[in-house]
Amino acid sequence: MLWRTRLPAHVTWALLVLALVAPWLGLYPVLGMRIMCFALFACAFNLLAGYAGLISFGHAALFGGAGYLTGLALTAWGLPTPVGILIGVLAALGIGLVMGLLAVRRQGIYFSMITLALAQIVYFYALQADFTGGEDGLQGVPRGSLFGLSLQSDRVMYYVVLAVFAACWWFMRRVVNSPFGQVLQAVRENEPRAISLGYRANRYKLGVFLLSAGFAGLAGAMKAVVMGFETLTDVHWSTSGLVILMTLVGGLGTDLGPILGAVIITVLEEKMGTIARFLVDITGIHGFNKLNDSVSMVIGAIFVLCVLLFRRGIVGELRERLRRLQSSA
């Protein structure tokens, strides 16, 4: 439905202003950048799964593969930061092209398992390749500069990442609401009917897979530059599961759902110790200290609650209830 893909302009501007002032309100810039990288990754996955109905279990290969190639370009080849990021995106597009060509002719679990199998090939290559550093990861990735602007300052880097994220999010919204996006949603709802109308469904699915791969690669490349390292975690299957979780918790097929999901999951991973101490202070129950060692359990519990209470995700459920109120008014 079209109402699910549109966001009021005043909400968009309010969120943009909030993101602009967040570092001055106490947000640690590196945490903010990490959230935006994963939010872009989740939006890229949502473009594929939410609007084309294609659930990929192999997006970590695109995310981490781009990070490794960007790190290699910046550390070993000494290329400028924009060129290194571009090489990472091109690497993700190359991996995505191979995945897409092999997977788009399949549907459902068969599509998902093909992407997972290909992603595992990328993981084991990253584990054994010399340039990746194996289990130690690729260290010392420099931030460099962007068009003469030094990126060593966390706040400067934050606003660069914010600008890239905002531009990508706007572009993805345009894609979803374009004729191309409408065909994708038609293919998702009833592929045989879309084919009978003359649309080449596999070409549209391959196109959106490449778009998703490019944005996922950009997210991984930026994360490598922001954090200064790249590890096997980013190409591991668990990262593919994490981005699926972010999207489902926030709301599959919504504008803000993947962003909200990325915020929730990333903050829980990074700040669980702080959250546990806060709960101890307000309740006096020292058992909450154990939450710091059980992040996966907490995230799993949140997912179960969302499945039980918010089947469309948090944003999706709120929009559905708002739509019902508007229709009954």
Domain positions in the chain: 15-236
Query: If DSSP codes are grouped into helix, strand and coil, which group holds residue 107?
Result: coil
Percent of the chain predicted with pLDDT > 70 = 94
pLDDT digits (tens, 9 = 90+) for 107-150: 889 999 999 999 999 999 999 998 998 888 999 999 998 888 89
Strands of 175-275 (E only): list them: 229-230
How far is it, in rounded angstroms, from Cα 44 to Cα 280? Answer: 37
Is 311 within 8 Å of 327 (Cβ atoms)? no
pLDDT digits (tens, 9 = 90+) for 172-196: 999 999 999 999 999 999 889 999 9
Residue among 57, 55, 85, 58 nearest 69 (CA): 85
Work out the number of other CB atoms within 10 angstroms of the CB of residue 24. 8
- The alpha carbon dihedral of 268, 270, 271, 276 has a sign of positive
Percent of the chain predicted with pLDDT > 90 = 64
- The alpha carbon dihedral of 289, 294, 247, 4 has a sign of negative
pLDDT score, position 40:
97
Q: Residue 145 is inside which H or E element, if any?
A: strand 145-146
- Report, as an integer, the average pLDDT of 288-306: 74
Higher-confidence residue: 327 or 186? 186
Question: What pTM did the predictor assign?
Answer: 0.92
